[in-house]
């Protein structure tokens, strides 16, 4: 099974063939594809390499992570694949892991962030009715009832 590597901190203008040539020095079976901006056609600063062999993937990470390429220090690590059924909504990762949890051996730190909550917010009136609500509260406060 192939290993997918994230290669980040790429310059916006570079020849992908140049990087592919450098990656091929490590071993065979390495395919690289830069992620391009749809509007400008320039590199978005990262890409992915598919490596056929696990040992070669580890060598690529070891040799290229932190290495300078066209004035930028590259960031090379294993890619976290998204499950195709989830779309862009986030949720759980492949293998049943949540987005805040990382796989064992991952170099990233865990960050528990709340991106979206469906819980109703307290004391947050609809801004379209804020003026009317304020008038209604004043009327109720001024009203005297016998208890």
Residue 21 within any structural domain of the chain:
yes
Record the pTM: 0.54
Spatial separation of the C-alpha atoms in residues 29 and 24, rounded to whole Å: 8
The CATH number of the domain holding residue 47 is 3.30.70.330
Residue 146 within any structural domain of the chain:
no
- What secondary structure letter does DSSP report for 128? G
Selection from 61, 82, 94, 74 nearest residue 34 by Cα? 74
* Domain carrying residue 42: 3-81
Please, which contacts does 35-41 make with residues 24 or more away whose CB atoms are closer than 8 Å? none
Question: Count of domains in the chain?
Answer: 1
pLDDT tens column, 10-57:
988 888 888 889 998 998 889 999 998 888 888 899 999 999 999 999
Residue 75 within any structural domain of the chain:
yes
Residue 67 within any structural domain of the chain:
yes
17, two tokens: 């063939």
């Amino acid at each position: 099974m192939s290993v997918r590597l994230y290669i980040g901190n790429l310059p916006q203008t570079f020849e992908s063939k140049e990087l592919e040539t450098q990656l091929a020095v490590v071993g065979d079976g390495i395919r690289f594809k830069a992620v391009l901006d749809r509007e400008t056609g320039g590199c978005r600063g990262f890409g992915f390499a598919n490596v056929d062999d696990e040992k070669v993937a580890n060598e690529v990470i070891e040799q290229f992570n932190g290495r300078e390429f066209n004035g930028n220090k590259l960031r090379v690590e294993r890619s976290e694949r998204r499950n195709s059924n989830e779309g862009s909504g986030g949720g759980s990762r492949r293998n049943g892991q949540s987005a805040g949890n990382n796989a064992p051996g991952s170099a990233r730190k865990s960050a528990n962030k709340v991106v979206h909550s469906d819980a109703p917010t307290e004391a947050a009136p609809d801004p379209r009715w804020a003026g009317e609500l304020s008038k209604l509260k004043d009327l109720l406060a001024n009203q005297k009832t016998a208890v």
